[in-house]
């Protein structure tokens, strides 16, 4: 692909100024995939404000359009709820030039209205696909995002743009040229990569440690993480959740969680603000005048939601760009990516991942061919059930033809999963992204996300045994290695006590060896626990109580001792 480089010499330069300084006119040029490098260069804004041409701007989400439409009164936003007759009325209005911003799902309505009003719309309108990497990133679970592609290619004047255009996009739109914006100043942002085996524990500590008055903007696609954090002490009294309406109705409301919003158009935020993936890209967020900066926290929780993996080369860059700069000054105090790791480690290197993907795609092709040729209906059903078990089956269209966007999505997702198998792999992925200066810290706890999840799924003696082993590991970790931190140890102990108070009490009163002896039988544990209470002078019991109540090196004051 032919590539042209242009330079951004000042962080306050907008795209129109960058283009003009590099020999273009102030318009976004046709026939290019524009790589902005940095988000927030005013690309869509410049197209909306341009007074020389009609424009159709394709945006990935409704949330983006709502903010732009509130700011620019000449703009028609087209998404769910807007009818063809509303678009036609706009086309017939005196507004010139026409500026239409539309989601992929509503694009057909725009074309229907244009076809009737202006048969030459493909020559009379410039079409821009914003955040073009979404065509690959979201296409498998949101197939209608690809609907505009065929129509887009028939426009005379057209372009794609993003700060993070993926390699798959560059390879798919081969007839376009690439226009790369390179800053001549230092633009890299500091990012702290926190790799842990206990998301909830570390998230809680992050919130507690940052006791300043700066708000938190927390980006995650794990609804369970949001639900947990929204109920945390210190958070539950001042938070907002920004997500899709159906997620609110089908999950958060069932959890008794309120303060849910579906748009940021009002630009009103709480101390703690949670955003799902529809707010990761393109959405403008502005801090109020009395807030100087905010903390950005990204959370990937692969143990509970594999789809919550944040891509360092796309999502992380886009997320950083959501809080808009004012006069070239970043409004972000700290940027942290908190993550656990992919529990499935199938390959030693990325080449192995991609090779396996190619084999899986070929296998699906073979199965589809066999299903088509067989005359036995039972064999046909068997073959089709086999191919549906393979994720690579999703890389084909309904008519059985391969889809290059689906296949690109398949490969990029699997590749990303490999990066999340170790902290080092993920750090290397970040090192390949010129936007960040990344440092890594690893925090491993004796009680992990995987432990908590397995306990939820277990019951009976197995659950009690697992809890006892977790308690044993916690006590070994905090007392055996001189990690006398009453706050952190107390958090883990409290979590396990809530899961099974009987096992918790029996562990400290009777000891783990005794629990194994009675095979974690609940009835016997209750009897033995009752018997132990009759002998409060039991020295072993006293030792356990002293350890858990009075950690070493932690001062105890007189008034506390009396209580």
Q: State residue 10's pLDDT score.
A: 93
Q: State residue 556's pLDDT score.
A: 61
Identify the sign of the CA torsion 460, 463, 469, 475: negative
Q: Rounded to the nearest 5°, which phi and psi values hold at 58?
A: -90, 120
pLDDT tens across the length of the chain (563 residues): 899 999 999 999 999 999 999 999 999 999 999 999 999 999 999 999 999 999 999 999 999 999 999 999 999 999 999 999 999 999 999 999 999 999 999 999 999 999 999 999 999 999 999 999 999 999 988 999 999 999 999 999 999 999 999 988 998 899 999 999 999 999 999 999 999 999 999 999 988 776 688 999 999 999 999 999 999 988 999 999 999 999 999 999 999 999 999 999 999 999 999 999 999 999 999 999 889 999 999 999 999 999 999 999 999 999 999 999 887 778 999 999 999 999 876 666 667 777 777 888 888 888 888 988 888 888 888 888 888 888 788 888 888 888 999 989 988 998 899 999 999 999 999 999 999 999 999 999 989 999 999 898 889 999 999 999 999 988 888 765 555 455 678 888 888 999 999 999 999 999 999 999 999 999 999 999 888 876 655 555 555 656 555 655 556 655 555 44
Q: State residue 484's pLDDT score.
A: 47
Q: Rounded to the nearest 5°, which phi and psi values hold at 49?
A: -80, -15
Q: State residue 357's pLDDT score.
A: 76
> What strand order describes the sheet that includes 157-162?
3-8, 177-183, 32-35, 157-162, 125-130, 54-58, 99-102, 75-78
CA distances from 196 to 69, 202, 341, 442 (A): 41, 7, 8, 6
Alpha-carbon 395 to chain mean position: 22
Q: How far apart are CA 256 and CA 254, in angstroms?
A: 5
Residues 6 or more apart whose Cβ sits within 8 Å of residue 195? 339, 340, 341, 423, 426, 440, 441, 442, 443
Which residues on adjacent β-strands are paired with residue 33? Answer: 160, 178
Q: How far apart are CA 368 and CA 225, in angstroms?
A: 39
> Exposed (0-12), middle (13-18) or buried (19+): which is 154, by Cβ within 10 Å?
exposed
Q: State residue 289's pLDDT score.
A: 87
Q: How far apart are CA 318 and CA 333, in angstroms?
A: 16
Which residues on adjacent β-strands are paired with residue 299? Answer: 220, 338
Convert the pLDDT of each residue in 66-122 to its tens digit: 999 999 999 999 999 999 999 999 999 999 999 999 999 999 999 999 999 999 999
Convert the pLDDT of each residue in 528-552 to its tens digit: 988 887 665 555 555 565 655 565 5
Tokens of 348: 């030693």
Q: How far apart are CA 236 and CA 53, in angstroms?
A: 49
DSSP secondary structure string for all residues of 167-232: HHHHHHSTTSEEEEEEESS---EEEEEEEES-HHHHHHHHHHH--SS--EEEEES-HHHHHHHHTS
């Amino acid at each position: 692909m032919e590539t042209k480089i242009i330079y951004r010499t000042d962080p306050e330069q907008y795209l129109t100024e960058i283009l003009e300084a590099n020999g273009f006119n102030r318009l976004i040029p046709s026939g290019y995939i524009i790589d902005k490098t940095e988000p927030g260069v005013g690309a869509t804004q410049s197209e909306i404000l341009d007074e020389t041409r009609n424009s159709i701007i394709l945006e990935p989400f409704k949330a983006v359009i709502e903010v732009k439409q509130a700011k620019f009164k000449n703009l028609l936003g087209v998404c769910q709820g807007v009818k063809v007759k509303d678009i036609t009325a706009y086309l017939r209005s005196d507004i010139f030039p026409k500026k239409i911003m539309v989601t992929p799902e509503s694009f057909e309505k725009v074309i229907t209205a244009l076809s009737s009003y202006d048969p030459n719309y493909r020559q009379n309108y410039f079409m821009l696909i914003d955040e073009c990497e979404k065509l690959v990133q979201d296409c498998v679970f949101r197939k209608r995002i690809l609907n505009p592609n065929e129509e887009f290619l028939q426009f005379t004047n057209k372009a794609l743009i993003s700060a993070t255009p993926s390699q798959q996009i560059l390879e798919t739109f081969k007839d376009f040229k690439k226009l790369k914006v390179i800053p001549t100043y230092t633009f890299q942002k500091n990012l702290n990569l926190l790799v842990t085996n206990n998301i909830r524990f570390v998230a809680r500590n992050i919130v507690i440690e940052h006791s300043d008055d700066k708000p938190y903007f927390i980006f995650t696609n794990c609804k369970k993480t949001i639900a947990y954090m929204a109920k945390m002490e210190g958070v539950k009294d001042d938070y907002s959740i920004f997500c899709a309406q159906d997620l609110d109705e089908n999950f958060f409301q069932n959890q008794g969680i309120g303060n849910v919003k579906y748009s940021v158009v009002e630009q009103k935020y709480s101390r703690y603000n949670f955003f799902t993936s529809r707010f990761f890209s393109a959405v403008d967020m502005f801090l109020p005048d009395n807030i100087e900066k905010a903390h950005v926290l990204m959370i990937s929780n692969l143990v509970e939601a594999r789809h919550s993996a944040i891509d360092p080369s796309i999502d992380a860059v886009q997320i950083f760009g959501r809080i808009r700069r004012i006069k070239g000054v970043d409004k972000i105090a700290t940027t942290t990516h908190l993550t656990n790791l992919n529990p499935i480690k199938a390959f030693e290197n990325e080449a192995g991942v991609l090779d396996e993907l190619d084999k899986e795609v070929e296998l699906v092709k073979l199965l589809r061919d066999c299903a088509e040729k067989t005359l036995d209906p039972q064999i046909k059903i068997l073959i089709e059930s086999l191919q549906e078990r393979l994720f690579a089956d999703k890389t084909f269209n309904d008519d059985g033809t391969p889809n290059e966007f689906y296949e690109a999505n398949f490969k990029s997702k699997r590749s990303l999963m490999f990066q999340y198998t170790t902290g080092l792999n993920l750090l290397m992925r970040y090192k390949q992204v010129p936007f960040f200066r990344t440092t890594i810290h690893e925090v491993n706890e004796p009680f992990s996300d995987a432990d908590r999840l397995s306990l939820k799924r277990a019951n009976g003696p197995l659950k009690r045994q697992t809890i006892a082993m977790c308690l044993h590991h916690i006590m070994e970790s905090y007392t055996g290695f001189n990690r006398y931190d009453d706050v952190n140890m107390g958090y883990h102990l409290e979590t396990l006590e809530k899961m099974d108070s009987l096992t918790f009490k029996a562990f400290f009163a009777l000891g783990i060896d005794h629990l194994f002896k009675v095979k974690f039988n609940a009835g016997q544990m209750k009897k033995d626990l009752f018997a132990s209470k009759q002998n409060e002078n039991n020295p072993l019991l006293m030792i356990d109580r002293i350890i858990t109540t009075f950690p070493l090196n932690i001062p105890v004051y007189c008034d506390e001792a009396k209580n």
